[in-house]
Amino acid sequence: YCNILSRPAGQAFGKKVRDRAVSFGRDPASIRIVPGLVVILGQTREEALRKHELFSGTGSEDGLLARFAKENGIDPRDFNPDIKLDGERFIPDQNRQWAVGMGLGLSELLTHEKLTAREAVRRSEGHHRLLLGTPEEVADGIIDLWQDGTVDGYTLQPPRAPDDIAEFVEKVVPVLQDRGVYPREYDGATIRDRYGLPYPD
């Protein structure tokens, strides 16, 4: 369980974890990377954007940007949301009280992708990868990092439980099943079975 906001960062993280496992004598094939994922659906991408603003409690894109500036200690008077951001500026303090690892997601994203604040606020919510759009667009985003092995699955972080879980199951899961990447039934009953992990001796 982790936060992965970009492919290069995710691949680097996966290599680091698996190399560490080898150094401790563990089989790296027994590790599954399942980052958090926030999904907000709409009949159109525009509808999903508006829902994101509502569910986040900020009410508007300007509200999202104001929250971004506040959370990252940026003086609003010097804040231009349309200038490309420097990833090094967002490396979290190693001594802070909040989780350092989760905070690294934004700096890693901005290191690998040159984004503005306006773009960045639509890529992450609650330090997790954010996918916005129609069920088909969300399915594309889910498959994207899974298909090349950057991630092994996801941990869904619904903004509104249980409504968003039900909507995901009703609208996104059938798309994933039709594309052959989500099972219609399971052979095993446990998480270990479903991830294809061996049972310890």
User: 137-147: per-residue pLDDT in tens?
Assistant: 999 999 999 99
- For residue 165, which amino acid is it? I
Where does the chain show beta strands of DSSP type E?
36-41, 124-125, 128-133, 155-156
From CA 197, how far away is CA 137, in angstroms rounded? Answer: 30
From CA 50, how far away is CA 60, in angstroms rounded? Answer: 7
pLDDT 10s digits, 51-99: 999 999 999 999 999 999 999 999 999 999 999 999 999 998 887 776 7
Spatial contact of 52 and 164, defined as CB atoms under 8 Å apart: no
| Residue 25 reports pLDDT greater than 90 | yes
| Residue 100 reports pLDDT greater than 80 | no
Q: Which two tokens stand for residue 86?
A: 């420097």
What is the structure's pLDDT at 92? 85
What is the structure's pLDDT at 103? 80
Q: In whole angstroms, what separates CA 44 from the centre of its chain?
A: 20
Nearest alpha carbon to residue 74 among 106, 122, 114, 109: 106
**198 prior amide bond cis, ω within 30:** no
Residue at token pair 């399971």: 186
Contact partners, residue 83, CB within 8 Å, separation at least 6: 116, 117
From residue 89, how far is each of 13, 102, 111 by CA, in Å?
20, 16, 10
